């Protein structure tokens, strides 16, 4: 297949956009990405979204966005893989452009969560869990992750406050990102005193509910060298893998197999190893997710990811910077949009356009979106 690159990126601020519709958000991000690329042509649109039907009263969302963004009559499809939907939409665009069927494909990840009360959102998010064996019993996503965190603390003799470094890092990075939702730095003491959501998970372990849209224009690498405004950021690898939907069905709940599998496939495609990755936009919906992800992706041995954080190695000047523009925790986690934000931020870093949050000398970045309790993972490795 053809080599594929990202040639334009755009995003709305992540916030509670009470005055904006889901279409408005998508249109703003798309316009920014097209402007950034300096290319007018668009052949297809892939929309990453999880909950437009439940929270915005709209299925057929890809057609709505194509219509609102004045892109009719192009092909438009919505891709859903729970919280990994944004990454999955890029995956679909990568296949469409790589195949030769389309030359310029837009990806937009968009989610509008704040038109509903938090109760409704918590129930909607539980749709990513196993309906019969998890959600029907009333367990929320925070509670599922709390089970994982408690088990991790038990197996590895960790204390809850050992997880603070992930949240502190996310807020420190978000403070440097003008589009992030939570721009206030926090301390370990703030973390420890934060109200409990689902014991042991507290508010500062958890990414917030919010709205946002992020867009990408992808094209064949060969063509972009001629026409686009920016040097292309190559998609060196793209991979998806799945694991059991229910946590209880896994041999070992602390092994995130889909995350490990999709990373392994991506490393193989890009012919890279974990040590080659300059920054990693991982799916830190909860601090425990960061820990399990770093261990699954080869950045830390089992039981040792907390040490990675304690030693400051996940910071912007560390050897494996994560969530460099705030991550899901600091930037905010508009679920179906987050995967697109992660890739937008990786592109900004690789272009050297991340402002005060810039990771110096970064040429290879990995962005990984996870859906459910690690039941689906989409990994992209980008390279300049």
The residues carrying an active-site annotation are 83, 333
Eight-state DSSP code of residue 369:
E
Decide if residue 379 touches a second copy (CB under 8 A): no
Please select the residue that binds a second copy; options are 35, 38, 41, 60, rule is CB under 8 A. 60
Decide if residue 248 touches a second copy (CB under 8 A): no
Toward a second copy, which CB reaches closer, 245 or 354?
Answer: 245
Decide if residue 270 touches a second copy (CB under 8 A): no
Nearest-CA neighbor of 282 among 225, 345, 229? 345
Please select the residue that binds a second copy; options are 9, 209, 258, 381, rule is CB under 8 A. 258
The least distance separating a second copy from the CB of residue 328, rounded to whole angstroms, comes to 17
The token pair at 340 is 């697109």
CB 362 within 8 A of CB 346: no
Sorted by sequence, the CB contacts under 8 Å of residue 85 that are 6+ apart come out as 48, 49, 50, 79, 109, 335, 336, 339, 369, 371
Decide if residue 252 touches a second copy (CB under 8 A): no
Toward a second copy, which CB reaches closer, 1 or 192?
Answer: 1
The least distance separating a second copy from the CB of residue 20, rounded to whole angstroms, comes to 12
Stretch that binds a second copy, among 28-36, 78-86, 289-297, 312-320 (CB under 8 A): 78-86
Toward a second copy, which CB reaches closer, 306 or 376?
Answer: 376
- Count of residues for the chain? 384
DSSP SS3 for 314: coil
Decide if residue 329 touches a second copy (CB under 8 A): no
The token pair at 145 is 């992750």
Decide if residue 293 touches a second copy (CB under 8 A): no
Decide if residue 110 touches a second copy (CB under 8 A): no
Sorted by sequence, the CB contacts under 8 Å of residue 137 that are 6+ apart come out as none
CB 365 within 8 A of CB 321: no
**Whole-number Å distance between alpha carbons of 5 and 315:** 27
Decide if residue 230 touches a second copy (CB under 8 A): no
**Whole-number Å distance between alpha carbons of 259 and 379:** 8
Decide if residue 56 touches a second copy (CB under 8 A): yes
Decide if residue 78 touches a second copy (CB under 8 A): yes
CA dihedral for 138, 283, 258, 9, sign (positive or negative) = positive
Decide if residue 255 touches a second copy (CB under 8 A): no
CA dihedral for 190, 332, 138, 132, sign (positive or negative) = negative
Q: Which of residues 128-187 bind a second copy (CB under 8 A)?
A: 128-132, 135-136
Nearest-CA neighbor of 297 among 317, 272, 318? 272
Nearest-CA neighbor of 260 among 301, 296, 290? 296
Decide if residue 62 touches a second copy (CB under 8 A): yes
Contacts with a second copy by CB under 8 A: the residue count is 63
Toward a second copy, which CB reaches closer, 128 or 174?
Answer: 128
The least distance separating a second copy from the CB of residue 195, rounded to whole angstroms, comes to 28
Decide if residue 268 touches a second copy (CB under 8 A): no
Decide if residue 8 touches a second copy (CB under 8 A): no
Toward a second copy, which CB reaches closer, 67 or 190?
Answer: 67
Stretch that binds a second copy, among 94-102, 174-182, 187-195, 212-220 (CB under 8 A): 94-102
Please select the residue that binds a second copy; options are 257, 293, 349, 368, rule is CB under 8 A. 257
> For the CA atoms of 185, 152, 346, 45, what is the dihedral angle to 10 degrees?
-110
- HSE on the CB side for 28, CA within 13 Å? 16
Please select the residue that binds a second copy; options are 35, 38, 41, 101, rule is CB under 8 A. 101
Decide if residue 324 touches a second copy (CB under 8 A): no
> For the CA atoms of 123, 129, 135, 136, what is the dihedral angle to 10 degrees?
130
The token pair at 222 is 């060969």
> For the CA atoms of 377, 266, 303, 316, what is the dihedral angle to 10 degrees?
-100
Binding site for a second copy (CB under 8 A): 1, 21, 44, 50-51, 53-54, 56-64, 66-67, 71-82, 88, 91-92, 95-96, 98-101, 124, 127-132, 135-136, 239-245, 249, 257-258, 261, 371-372, 375-376
């Amino acid at each position: 297949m053809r080599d594929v690159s990202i040639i334009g990126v755009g995003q709305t601020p992540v916030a509670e956009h009470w005055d904006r519709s889901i279409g408005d958000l998508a249109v703003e991000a798309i316009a920014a990405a097209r402007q950034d690329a300096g290319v007018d042509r668009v052949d297809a649109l892939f929309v990453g979204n999880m909950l437009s039907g439940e929270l915005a009263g709209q299925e057929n969302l890809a057609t709505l966005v194509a219509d609102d963004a004045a892109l009719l009559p192009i092909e438009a499809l919505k891709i859903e893989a729970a919280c990994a939907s944004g990454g999955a939409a890029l995956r679909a665009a990568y296949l469409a452009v790589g195949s030769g069927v389309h030359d310029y494909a837009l990806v937009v990840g968009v989610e509008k969560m704040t038109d509903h009360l938090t109760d409704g959102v918590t129930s909607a998010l539980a749709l990513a869990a196993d309906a019969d064996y998890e959600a029907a019993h009333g367990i929320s996503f925070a509670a599922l992750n709390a089970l994982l965190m408690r088990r991790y603390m038990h197996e590895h003799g960790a204390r809850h406050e050992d997880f603070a470094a992930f949240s502190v890092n996310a807020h420190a990075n978000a403070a440097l990102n003008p589009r992030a939702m939570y721009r206030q730095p926090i301390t370990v003491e703030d973390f420890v005193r934060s109200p409990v959501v689902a014991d042991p998970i507290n508010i500062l372990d958890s990414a917030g509910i919010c709205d946002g849209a992020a867009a990408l224009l992808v094209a064949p690498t060969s063509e972009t060298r001629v026409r686009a405004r920016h040097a292309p950021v190559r998609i060196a690898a793209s991979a998806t893998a799945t694991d059991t939907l229910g946590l209880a069905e896994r041999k070992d709940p602390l092994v995130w197999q889909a995350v490990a599998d999709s990373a392994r496939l991506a490393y193989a495609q890009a012919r890279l190893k974990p040590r080659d990755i300059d920054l990693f936009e991982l799916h830190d919906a909860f601090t425990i997710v960061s820990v399990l992800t770093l261990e699954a992706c080869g950045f830390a041995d089992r039981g040792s990811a907390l040490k990675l954080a304690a030693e400051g190695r996940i910071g912007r000047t560390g050897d494996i910077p994560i969530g460099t523009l705030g991550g899901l925790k600091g930037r905010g986690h508009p679920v179906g949009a987050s995967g697109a934000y992660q890739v937008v931020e990786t592109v900004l870093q690789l272009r050297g356009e991340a402002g005060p949050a810039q990771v110096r000398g970064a040429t290879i970045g990995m962005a990984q979106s996870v859906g459910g309790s690690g039941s689906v993972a989409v990994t992209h490795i980008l390279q300049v």
